[in-house]
Amino acid sequence: MKRKFFNLLAFTTVFGSLLFTTSCSDDDSNGGSTEPPITEGRWITVAGAIMGTDEGVPGDGNGGTLIYSVSKEDAKDPNKTIDVFENGYVVPSARTARLQSSEDGFTFFNIAYGGGNGGEFSKYVVGGGQNFSPVGGIVNISQYASANPRWVKLFDGDKTGVAVNVTAPVVNSTEDGTYINTRGTATVLSLDMQNSLISATKSYEIALSQAEEALGHHIFRLDAPVLNAAQDKLIIGTWMRKTDPATGTNQAQFERLGSKSVVVDYPSLENPTIITSTVGFGDTSGYRSFNSFLANDGNIYQATQRDAGGSHILRINQNNTYDNSFVFSLDAALGVTNSYIENWRYVGNGIAIVMYTHDGAAESTLSGQAQSYIARVDLNAKTAQQIDLPYDQDLYLFQYQGFVVDGYDVYVTFAPVGKDGNIYIINSQTGAVTKGAKLVNRPGNHFIGAF
């Protein structure tokens, strides 16, 4: 069976890409509901993060990453057991790797995060179990995007990855010490994942308005780029910070500006501009996963973090500007306060699966982190409902990265830090949950996704 999958890899990748592209094209033209594609015979790859060895904190993931793949049938079987920490393939990365998989699950991508090989891109053919066969050359992007790169794969048929970086912001003042602004140099890099080479890089300072910069506001981090429907612009999320102009030091508490994103031309990566939301007032960079998605209606939906009014999901229209008539507050939808979207995935037809926490959530005695939850969100109806799962105060999904969407099935790994758990399959139409394979854990370790 493994040989059959390998021989069909090229055909399946092309067919899956065409199917995905066709679905998006149909959705963009009519805005209607379509059945998401199903990939027969795909692998489900489970990723686990190891606790750091030097003064490690449970759930920190600083000890590296392992991956292990199983068939869809085994992933769905609660009588099957997956022990990724005993049997998994070690992914090159000093800390928690930033992982991606092809749309059909047959190819796996990684850029090492930290350490001597930080910034190295590698690609693997998935063969089942711990069998991940390197294919293509290794490309090191660290000189452009640092040894701790922030990157995602574009949904363009698995052709392109985009990494982004901002150098440490520098305070600029006049000769007499009068504060001017704080800026870092931004770099945007496109990576040809099929041929394993760097396609293009551009670097520039990205200025806010003069009034905003005079107050000390600046871009601290870029992350989570997404390609628009016309495939001529990248929308890049931002994490904002503020310098105290009187002292030149970082100001921890400040009144936030409206949520911002950087828009650059694609594929040239030129002409950076900034767009600003008046609905959200949080950051739009996410953490280690996608934070913006092109939806069936041709618009981009983007989550906020560190938002004073709780997390929002914002809409960016096909003119590449924020649609401030669209208001979705997770607080309002769930009836909670100060919600925080840790990770999420648009799964089709206006539905999203959201991992989040909120005020009043139990605090883990292991990790010190607030407990996580999962909700099904209907962006069209602007509603949300917590999914019925066996929650635990040690459930920590802040570092989560991978959701598998296969038809109406959404596969997630669900286990508290240091405790066994299971794969669960969520029906995106109904929210119904099916318990799948058992996940064997180790003290201090946690699972960071299904791919």
Phi, psi of 194 (to 5 degrees): -75, -40
Closest CA to 235 of 207, 260, 264: 264
- Taking the C-alpha atoms of residue 19 and residue 104, their distance in angstroms, rounded to an integer, is 10
Q: Does residue 345 sit in helix, strand or coil?
A: strand
Encode the chain (451 residues) as per-residue pLDDT tens digits.
Answer: 333 333 333 333 433 443 333 334 333 333 456 788 999 999 999 999 999 988 889 999 999 999 999 999 999 999 999 999 999 999 999 889 899 999 999 999 999 998 889 999 999 999 999 999 999 889 999 999 999 999 999 999 999 999 999 999 999 999 999 999 999 999 999 999 999 999 999 999 999 999 999 999 999 999 999 999 999 999 999 999 999 999 999 999 999 999 999 999 999 999 999 999 999 999 999 998 999 999 999 999 999 999 999 999 999 999 999 999 999 999 999 999 999 999 999 999 999 999 999 999 999 999 999 999 999 999 999 999 999 999 999 999 999 999 999 999 999 999 999 999 999 999 999 999 999 999 999 999 999 999 9
Task: Give the number of other CB atoms < 10 A from CB of residue 55.
Answer: 7
Q: Does residue 89 sit in helix, strand or coil?
A: strand
Closest CA to 119 of 145, 81, 155: 145
- Taking the C-alpha atoms of residue 88 and residue 32, their distance in angstroms, rounded to an integer, is 41
Domain boundaries, the chain: 2-450
pLDDT number for residue 32: 56
pLDDT number for residue 14: 37
Q: What is the pTM of this model?
A: 0.91
- Taking the C-alpha atoms of residue 23 and residue 301, their distance in angstroms, rounded to an integer, is 18
- Taking the C-alpha atoms of residue 106 and residue 85, their distance in angstroms, rounded to an integer, is 21
- Taking the C-alpha atoms of residue 258 and residue 351, their distance in angstroms, rounded to an integer, is 25
pLDDT number for residue 123: 96
pLDDT number for residue 200: 97
Residue pair 3/373 in contact by the 8 Å Cβ criterion: no
- Taking the C-alpha atoms of residue 429 and residue 369, their distance in angstroms, rounded to an integer, is 31
One-character DSSP codes across 97-121: -EEEE-TTSSEEEEE--SSTTTTEE
pLDDT number for residue 271: 98
Per-residue pLDDT tens digits for 272-324:
999 999 999 999 999 989 999 999 999 999 999 999 999 999 999 999 999 99
Q: How far is CA 164 from CA 65, 144, 207, 236, 311, in A?
A: 22, 9, 16, 8, 23
pLDDT number for residue 368: 93
Q: Where are the alpha helices (DSSP H) in 189-337?
A: 210-214, 330-334
Q: What fold, for 2-450?
A: Methylamine Dehydrogenase; Chain H (2.130.10)
